[in-house]
Amino acid sequence: MAEVFDDRLDAQTEISSWAAARIMGRSLGLLTAHMTLFAAKCGLALISILPIATLPWLTKIVMDRVVGDPSMINDAVPYPPFMQPLLDLIEGRDPLSIMMIVLTVFLVMLIFVGLRTAETELVVPEGRDEATKSENALSAGYSRAGGLLGLVEYLINVRLNQRIGNDLRTRLFERLVRLDIPTLDDQRVGDSIYRVMYDATQVPAICLQLTLSPAVALLSAGLSLYLMNYSYGDVAPEVVWVAIGVIPLGFAITFPFSALARRLNQSSRAAGAATTNAIEENIDNIGAVQRLGGESRELERFTDRSEESFRRSRYVELVNATLIAAGIGVTTLGGVIGFVLITDQIIGETLSAGDFTALIGVFLQLAFVTVEIGLYWIRLQGNVAAVRRVLFMVDYASEADVTGTIDGIRERVDLEGVSYSYPDGRQALVDVDLSFAVGEMVAIVGPTGAGKTTLAYLLPGYLRPAIGSVRFDGADIASADPRELREFVTYVFQEHVLLSGTIEENLRLGRPDAPREAIEEALAIAGATALVESLPEGLQTLISGHGDTLSVGQQQRLSIARGLVRETPILVLDEPTAAFDPVSERELVGALSEVAKERLVIVIAHRLSTIRAADQIVFLEDGRVVETGTHDDLMAAAGRYREFVEMQLA
Ligand SMILES: Nc1ncnc2c1ncn2[C@@H]1O[C@H](COP(=O)(O)OP(=O)(O)OP(=O)(O)O)[C@@H](O)[C@H]1O
Ligand SMILES: [Mg+2]
């Protein structure tokens, strides 16, 4: 199966080392906004290292002074200085009370920091596919400490993760909803959901795996080595050297596989996103799929993607597990060498039995750290692959990025020599020259695919012409911020889109503070007053996302009313009356003509009754303006428009 499925935008997914480094850098940038939480987490993690460093020495005390023969105690091995208070305390006591003292110290440590030597994660039991893992990642906490301290560290971690994750996913969402229309057509909904919900959540892991996690791991390793060297540097220097040699191995093993890990993770995520796409597209078009009997084909498509997604995530797991196993193998080898060296010295009586447990304890800690560092690195590659998918969309250059201002519109809109081609090269408008006046109702007419919608999209800046200009009162809108532009232009879409919520919420979408009268007036013009009054809960009636508890004509009326509520100087209606009966249509057109006295109303229409009421008719064909004028002018001209009218009447 193809590496990137049918993704038309994000088709170049290879991540070079340099790109990976940049992604890591940008992820760290997100951390800077949460420095307080991060500092708290660091502080707690550091506190937790110190008690853990005492563990090997406590076991040495138990071995030498409680279990072992006191005459074997070897003073050539000094304890680290911080152990001195405890040594003073046990000096001269009998083995039982020494044991009690050590046990008390153990217990206190257990309650406050736990006795772990490596980072543990507290997470909800999770599936192994990327989506489930990613979702969990956001609410996962990692703590180095155990006990009470670990609990606090864990809670701080969850919060930190969620904040960083939330920052990024909010930014991504903001970008996605501002993408321009041709890009949105290509960017599939399921994939977008996957990016927001599952990819963005990997960014906190990058932040921690680049900073705190390795820092704490290395620090605790450094501390262990220092103490080991302090006590055993003279007696058993070769053991210290073996221990030092083990540390970089985890990283050395995983590093060569960085690019492979990134590639596998990327492809696993692409497959996950394709699965989400398949779900979204099918459920969204369920009616068509069922009616046309396409269920089994669609089921097969979904199954393929789902299986592919799981298969790819198994590759990721396989590589991770193999590398971890290799890391453990190599550190074990180091441990065995250390073991031989230590036991040699015990036999040679330079080291005691307590030294054995102390040294093996240090070795164990170092082995953990070694494997941990390798693991961080390899996981980091997976997170980089996820975050690349997010940043790709965040960075996606959008025509919506222009930020120029515009004064407004009082008199006229002019299109001068406008041509437009869609990204796939299809030319939808050719050399269009038009002039519309505020106070006029314009009808755009023409066969299917003539370019009517494309032409109307130019006004709110949904599309920007590559050639020619669109001018509001003479000012080119090419560099106008689309948000500002849309203050002046309302577009009622051909496919009416209502959102889940109450009718009132829908009506106020484009103007939340609209006064009551504006809403009532809009409903009246759109012929929806009676509809709203007939509903038991009136304006507060809840409608579903697709508005499908209403008839198509009713949805259309509400969409028109929603457009009217905004009271902008330009109102564009794309086939508003397609689902209207002739009487309602006549009423709407009459009301629109009234509205057009103060505004510019542009109606894309097929029906003669709507078209005839317009002050200016624009007849489009194959992207070209063929004729313009009033109904009477164009009938008299006996051109393409007249043919079109006569076809309708025939
Ligand atoms: N996103 C797109 N990418 C590529 N081509 C497109 C896109 N949208 C529209 N087109 C093409 O541009 C041309 C004009 O389309 P447009 O939607 O403007 O037609 P229309 O006149 O509104 O048709 P209808 O009456 O069916 O709504 C058509 O050939 C169409 O296939
Ligand atoms: Mg159209």
For residue 12, being part of any structural domain is answered with no
Contact 620, 455 (CB under 8 A): yes
- Using CA atoms, how far residue 592 sits from 460, 504, 610, 642, 645, in Å, is 19, 22, 10, 24, 22
Q: Which of 8, 418, 421, 422 to mutate to test the pocket of ligand 1 (most atoms within 8 A of CB)?
A: 422
Instruction: Give the burial class of 289: count Cβ atoms within 10 A of its Cβ; 0-12 exposed, 13-18 middle, 19 or more buried.
Output: middle
Residue 426 in contact with ligand 1 by CB distance below 6 A:
yes
Q: What are phi and psi of 54, to 5 degrees?
A: -80, -15
pLDDT digits (tens, 9 = 90+) for 129-175: 666 666 666 666 666 677 788 888 888 988 998 999 999 989 888 88
For residue 284, being part of any structural domain is answered with yes
pLDDT digits (tens, 9 = 90+) for 202-238: 899 899 889 988 888 888 888 888 888 988 888 889 9
Q: How many CA atoms lie within 13 A of 346 on its CB side?
A: 16
Residue 199 has pLDDT above 80, yes or no: yes
Instruction: Give the residue, by CA position, lying nearest to ligand 1 atom 19.
Output: 449
Number of Cβ atoms within 10 Å of the Cβ of 408: 12
Within this chain, do residues 59 and 141 fall inside the same structural domain, yes or no? Answer: yes
Within this chain, do residues 418 and 496 fall inside the same structural domain, yes or no? Answer: yes
Domain that residue 26 falls in: 17-395
Residue 424 in contact with ligand 1 by CB distance below 6 A:
yes
For residue 301, being part of any structural domain is answered with yes
Within this chain, do residues 567 and 517 fall inside the same structural domain, yes or no? Answer: yes
Contact 382, 202 (CB under 8 A): yes
Within this chain, do residues 535 and 612 fall inside the same structural domain, yes or no? Answer: yes
Domain end residue (candidates: 349, 366, 395): 395
Within this chain, do residues 509 and 576 fall inside the same structural domain, yes or no? Answer: yes
Q: Which CATH number do you get for residue 64?
A: 1.20.1560.10
Residue 172 in contact with ligand 1 by CB distance below 6 A:
no
Domain end residue (candidates: 365, 395, 425): 395
Q: How many CA atoms lie within 13 A of 153 on its CB side?
A: 27
pLDDT digits (tens, 9 = 90+) for 21-31: 999 999 999 99
Closest CA to 371 of 216, 242, 253: 253
Within this chain, do residues 194 and 46 fall inside the same structural domain, yes or no? Answer: yes
Within this chain, do residues 517 and 439 fall inside the same structural domain, yes or no? Answer: yes
Within this chain, do residues 444 and 575 fall inside the same structural domain, yes or no? Answer: yes
Largest CA distance in the chain: 123
- What's the confidence (pLDDT) of residue 1? 45
Within this chain, do residues 345 and 446 fall inside the same structural domain, yes or no? Answer: no
Residue 448 in contact with ligand 1 by CB distance below 6 A:
yes
For residue 406, being part of any structural domain is answered with no
Within this chain, do residues 336 and 429 fall inside the same structural domain, yes or no? Answer: no
For residue 563, being part of any structural domain is answered with yes
Number of Cβ atoms within 10 Å of the Cβ of 114: 21
Within this chain, do residues 138 and 230 fall inside the same structural domain, yes or no? Answer: yes
pLDDT digits (tens, 9 = 90+) for 334-375: 889 989 999 998 888 888 888 888 888 888 888 888 888 888
For residue 92, being part of any structural domain is answered with yes
**Total number of domains constituting the chain:** 2
- Using CA atoms, how far residue 456 sits from 402, 494, 553, 616, in Å, is 20, 11, 22, 15
- The sign of the dihedral angle between the CA atoms of 385, 387, 391, 394 is positive
Q: Which CATH number do you get for residue 555?
A: 3.40.50.300
Average of per-residue pLDDT across 281-303: 80
Within this chain, do residues 446 and 370 fall inside the same structural domain, yes or no? Answer: no
